[in-house]
Structure formats: structure tokens, C-alpha cells
Structure 1
Amino acid sequence: MNSHHKKELFESRDEGDKSPPGNKLQLLPLDMEVEILTRLPVKSLMKFLCVSKTWSSLIRSQTFAASYYARSYETRSRFRVFVHGGAQRLLIFSGEEETFSSSLDANLDMTVPSVTLALGGSKCTSVHGFFGCCHGSNFTICNPSTGQIITFPCKGPYTSLGYDPVDDQFKALTLVPALYSNPSFIVHEVITLGGRGGRGVVSRSNVTSPTYCPMTKGLNINGFMYFGAWAPSHRTTPVFVCFDVRYERILSFITTPKDVLVCEAFSILIEYKGKLAVIVPRPSGDPCFDCFDLWILEDVTKHEWSKQTFELPLSLPFTAGMGKRMISQGTNKAGEIICIC
């Protein structure tokens, strides 16, 4: 927790403490309070929001959410997935790494109301413990650790959430579809999130790039956002667009083997040992698959890829039009790929 945030919290303590001298309760050091709170379950944290303004500010802060997420990963090895529950609900589940098996029990962490996704559409991403979901002309970000939900308008359907680990800053990148007709460039809007307690939209700015046609949702890895595309137009050259979240610029177009993105919506982006990877089910386009190729971007600068093929013990459903999609949030500590159907 940075010194500026500590100062704010200590000042709020002093202003809110009106008890006469000699009757003050002995307060725990702030660092100790944070250490204790990060060890508690989400349900307890939600109750403690009402204890005081100080605790409410602390628990809802972006810094605390990052600490809670880091401890959760280190000690409990939790994974989280999102499921479209119908009736305008988005459900977020979590489970323990050690429970992984052919079937597992997951806990419902939170329900996000008023989020409607197209049948079979998967426009949600998980970034640094937060979930971002594009629905219609709105983008919703939710923090399962605190139950906090933020919704704001965006200018296009292709919106993804990114995170800058250096400045501890979340940003959303969206394409502005009204300017697609320009043959020489396209425009993106970068929405910077933050403010007091890490909430709300701080600023909006525009970024231009050479033309391309987006194919996949974005995936954030170590301060960079990747998404598959055709460049410069549909069905020409498959590439991965690399966006630098901190400096707000399109860094490069990464040349990609045709087999990686030939399936378009059937290509699943994951982080594999700190690298961009793509799961491509086989046979491609079939309602079920019994093996898949894992393409790994080994060298971003040289655009070098490797491929591994995995055989499955049973067939898994993968029919986008019927809403039956395999979900993969990446890998666990052992490097094993997590697939949920």
C-alpha cells in the first residue's frame, strides 16, 4: 500500500475520532489491519464495509483488491470463471486448484445483474482479479473480492480491459466503429479508470493505428493487451495486435500462422507460463472436439510460434451458435491448462 493512500486513511481516522482524550481505543497499525483483512473470506469483507468509513475506503480501494488477489493466488490458488446465467445475470464462480478433476464443485462468488450477452457470445475477460464485460454499448467491471460493480458507456462493441502493473492502473480499449470506413487508419478510445478508491472513469483519449479487422476479445499479459485480427481487411493476413497499456499505443502487429486464427471465434486466448497462447480445438468447426492444438508465442519480436497437440480422454462441446462453449482462464501453478465446459 503506497504512502499517499496510508496518509488518506490516517487522516480519515483522525477526523472521524471524536472521543474525548483518555477514552480512545488502542488502534492496530494500518499494515496489520490490511494483513488481517486480506486473510478473510469475501462474505466477511462485505459485512465489514459497514464498520467505519475507513474500512469501507480501504476494502474498496484498488490497492487492497490487488493485495487480496495476490494473497488469494499465493495461498488458496483460486481460479474464477464467469457464466452467463440468463435472465440478465452474469454469474462469477470460484474454486480451489486442488479440487480440479473431471468434475468439480465451484462456489458462487457474486451475481452481476443487468448484463445481457448474446447466446454463445463470450465478451468477458479476467484481468488482475477483476472481470470486464462488454454488453451492448456499455462496459461493466466487477471486483469479486468486494462485490463492487462499475458500468460506463463505451463507443463500440470491441472493448477489452487491460492493466498496467507499473502504475497500478486499469484501462479499457475500445474500437470506434463509426470511423471504420476510413481506408488509412482506425481510431480507438482508451478509457482510464481510477479516481478515489479506484472507482470511476478518470479520462478518455484517442489512439490511431493502421487498419485491421478484429477477430477475438483482448487478453492482458504483463501490461500488454493482445487480440487476434485480420490486417488490413477481413480474410487477408492473420495477426495479433499488441497494445501497450501503460503508454497507450499499438506496439506491433505480430505475424501469426493461419492455423492459429483460421477458426476465428473458435480460437481461445490464454496466458501460458507468462506467454500468449491460443487453444485451437480439432476438428475445427465441429460441435465437439477430442483434441486441441496449443500455439505459443515464443518470441514477440521475431514473431516465432511453437505448437503442441493434446489428446483428450473424452469429447468436449464447442458449438458457439448453441451457447455451448469451452471456457479456459489459463493455467494453474503446475502449468496445467484449466478447461471448463
Structure 2
Amino acid sequence: MNCEKLRNPSMDKKKQLKHTVNKAKEQSSMEKRNQNDKSKTIHDILPLDLIHKILLRVPIRHLTRLRCVSKLWSSLISDPDCVELHFHHSPAATKACFFMKNDTMAYLVYLDDNYASQKVVCPPFKKKPPSDFEVLGSCRGFILLHRYPHFLVVWNPLTGVSKRISYSHIVSRPKYHSFRLPYSTHLHGFRYDASQDDYLVVAACRDYERQEDHLECLSLRTNSWINLDAVLPSPLDWFDHNSCGLFLNGAIHWVPSCPKDYRDAILIFDLKERTFSKISAPEQLLTVACPFPSLALLGDCLSLYGHNYGRGTTEIWVMKEYKVHSSWTLYEIPCKIFQPLCLSRNGDIIGRGYDKIGYFIYNVRGDLLKRFKNLPCPPPIGYCVYKESLAVLPLPSGIKDKDKKKKENCHQVHHQV
């Protein structure tokens, strides 16, 4: 017997209706879930701490684009704490060799373990620049340039932020007659003062008429020069007129052009304490083979290097523990004229060759790992190693206070609305 013929037609209609209603309810709930899923953002799925950790692993050049993802991401990426963390602790930190090709063009050459690239950037000169300029150094993502006759330009190539500062009013003073960076200084340096959130230019010069040495400090926040009451090393003319210091551990470091004693190899100026001190070099460095050492930063370590023309090598001494003399470690590079620039992510030494043209990567045993030939190379002087950052220039104190008050007022109005 066919069972279908025994069905009650009215019962079938009720079941069909019930099934349709249930199906509609299921579809409605599914649509709601889909709508909820669509309305969810990444911030609802991932905690902010995890997003923060992810952003730290993104190369800084790509991080600038991610500010367009959302207001929250823009706020996170631009937050001063995030900028600070990314600069100091990001495994994706990017370093480049910066130098000027001509008055209107500069190069950033990015070097890493597996690839190399170049980027052309235009300096922030609003008018037609003169031919006389100098690269004075870099600090925390900013490059310090000197422009003829009495101008300093602080510039972040990544963000395009720049500031031009005139020091012509300093030159008008009697004791600074004909003063001009860097030629009138025996020492100069560019550094960041975290306690004041300020970038500082330090310059030591000699007044030959009065036979007096002066140590001056320019604050970018206040655009004013301060005479630092510190006892300068003697003789000051041990240092080249173009002796740019390296910033590390809250101090600026210089090396004399021709140190006469290994105990006087590195001069340190602590701006917070306003005192000078010295670090001894390894005794083996200051020999006839390497009489003119130069200073470099490899990782977070001070390094001295010299060219051993007799052996056709470059000796690099790295101080692995700051101010610990016994921590000096020697690495020998089989290249007669080699300038170490920085360390790769794998801890290999990246540098510029002159007897062999190009950029080279050597491991600590002196084995050549890679050579980049088809990249623009800087001159022996007039370049700096630049670490990219999203840092912004500090506002003058008065403007900063007004800006803070304005934000607080806007915040109060927002709550009232």
C-alpha cells in the first residue's frame, strides 16, 4: 500500500507552513548574524594590545599607509608612545644611508640582508638652493642640514616635516664674528633631550682673538642659543673642523683627528650633566698601521675603525658593553678602505667600499656575503646613517600649551553636545 495516499492534506499544509516559518526565522537570524559580522571591525576581533604588537612588526615605510585604515589606527600609529616603541624596539626598523646628490636631490639607500633599494627625495628648500650646503648628522628620524649662509634645516624625509632655523643673530655678536657651521666649530653634534622633548645642536668653537673656547647649544624648540658652562677639552684643535659627533646613551661622542694616546681616543659630552669624559681605545688600534681611527655606531655599540694599508684590511673594534674597556672586540674586513655603516638584522656588517666600489655585507668572520654594485654611493664625507621614524618636531612651549588647551576645550564641547 502506498503510504502517501494515507496522508492528511490539512496536516501536510500545517507542517509546510511551520517549516516555512522556521526557515524564515533561521534566514532572519542568519542575516542578522551576517550584518553583525559585517559591522564588526578588526578592533572588535583583536585586542588593542595585539594590534599594537602587530604594528611594531610592520616596516615604518608601510606603517605610514596604515594610518588611512581607520581613525583608531591613525591615532595608534601617531601616538608618541607608539612612535617611541617602534623606533627603539621594532624588529622591522629601517636604516638607510643618506647623502645629497646635488642641490635639489638626495638619496636614501636602504640596505638589508636580502635586498637593497634606493629612493630619491627632494630636500625641503623652498627657494633655489645655493651650492654650498653640508650634511651635519641625523637623530631619531631627522636629518640636520646646513644651508648657506646661516641656516639650519631639520628634516624628516619619511613624513616631509621640516623646520628652518636662522642663526644670523648669533653671528652679529662680537665673539661669533664670521661664525659658521660646521667650519667654525671643532666639535658639533645633533641630539635629542628626552627630559625636555627637544632637539639640540651642540657646537664647540674657538674665539681666536680672545683665545677662548665656547660651547654653545641651540634649542630647536625655543630657537635660541645657550652658552653651556662646561670645561672644554684641551687642545680643542685635535678635532677636525667637520667633526660630527655620534649620539648614544644620552651623550655625544667624538674621536680626535689624530689621537696621541689610546686613553684619549673617544671624547664624550653628557648634556644633562654638562660634563666631558673620555673612553680609552684598545691599545692595538692606535698603531702605525691604523693612525687615524674613525667612529661609527654598529647596532647600539660604539665602534672604532681604521684602515691597515699594509695588510689591505679594515680593522673594526666594537665596544660590546658601553664604557667597559675589556669588551672591545676586533673584526677584520678584507677591504682596504671600508666604512662600516650599520648592522643588518642578522648582525652582519654593512658598509661602503672605496677601493672596491659598492656596498658590501660581511659577517663577523670577515666573509663577504653580498655586494651591491648598482646603487649610488656617497662621497667619503657628507653622508649620514639615517634611521626612519614618524617622530614630529616639538612645538615651542607657548604654542604647545595653547594647543593642549585648545584640545581640552574641544573635548569639553564634544561632551556638551
With normalisation by structure 2, the TM-score equals: 0.52
Report what 1:224 is aligned to. Answer: 251
Give the alignment partner of residue 251 of structure 1, picking from 270, 276, 281.
276
Larger CA deviation: 274-283 vs 147-156 = 147-156
* Deviations 1:219-272, CA, capped at 9 Å, x for gaps: 011111101236xxx87665422111334x232134556955989996442224
On the 8 A contact 1:59/1:146 being kept in 2, the answer is: no
Report deviation, 1:59: 7.2
C-alpha separation between the residues in 2 aligned to 1:263 and 1:62?
47
The one-letter code matched in structure 2 to 1:270 is: A
Change (3 A) 1:264 1:161: farther
1:240 is matched with which residue?
A: 266
Task: Evaluate the alpha carbon distance shift between residue 304 and residue 33 of structure 1 in structure 2; reply closer, same or farther with a 3 A threshold.
Answer: closer
> Higher helix share goes to which structure?
2
Count of residue pairs the alignment pairs up: 281
Structure 2: segments with no counterpart, 5+ residues: 1-40, 168-179, 353-357, 359-417
Check the 8 A contact 1:83/1:92 in 2, yes or no. Answer: yes
> Match of 2:227?
206
Which residue pairs with 1:162 in the alignment? Answer: 191
Tell me the residue number matched to 1:151. Answer: 164
Pairing partner for 2:304 from 273, 278, 286: 278
Q: Secondary structure at the match of 1:93?
A: strand
| 1: CA distance, partners of 2:260 / 2:249 | 29
Please give the root-mean-square deviation of Cα atoms over the aligned residues, in Å.
Answer: 4.7
Note if contact 1:293-1:307 (Cα within 8 Å) is conserved in structure 2: no
Q: Is the 8 A contact 1:162 1:225 kept in 2?
A: yes
Distance 1:40 1:330, change over 3 A: closer
Pick the structure with greater CA Rg. Answer: 2
Is the CA contact (8 Å cut-off) linking 1:268 and 1:328 kept in structure 2? no
Identity of aligned residues (%): 17
SS at match of 1:106: strand
In 2 relative to 1, CA 309–223 (structure 1 residues): closer, same or farther, beyond 3 Å? same
Gap regions ≥5 residues in structure 1: 1-25, 194-199, 319-325
The CA deviation at 1:141 is: 2.3
Tell me the CA shift for residue 274 of structure 1. 3.3
Give the drift of 1:217.
1.6
| Higher-RCO chain (CA-CA 8 Å, sequence separation at least 6) | 2
CA contact (8 A) 2:316 2:331 kept: yes
C-alpha spacing 1:280/1:116, structure 2 compared with 1 (3 Å): farther
Q: Give the match for residue 7 of structure 1.
A: none
Q: Does 1:173 align with 2:198?
A: no
**Residue pair 2:290, 2:307 contacting (<8 A) in 1 also:** no
1:280–1:303: structure 2 CA closer, same or farther, 3 Å change rule? same
Q: How does 1:64-103 map to 2 (within 5 A)?
A: 65-70=83-88, 73-74=90-91, 76-95=92-111, 97-99=112-114
Distance 1:307 1:270 in 2: 14
For 2:202 and 2:287, the matched residues in 1 are separated by 21
Give the deviation of 1:290 after TM superposition: 4.3
- The answer to whether the aligner puts 1:138 opposite 2:167 as a matched pair is no
Q: Hey, what's the Cα distance between the residues in 2 that align with 1:202 and 1:291?
A: 45
Alpha-carbon spacing, 1:255–1:262, altered in 2? closer, same or farther (3 Å): farther
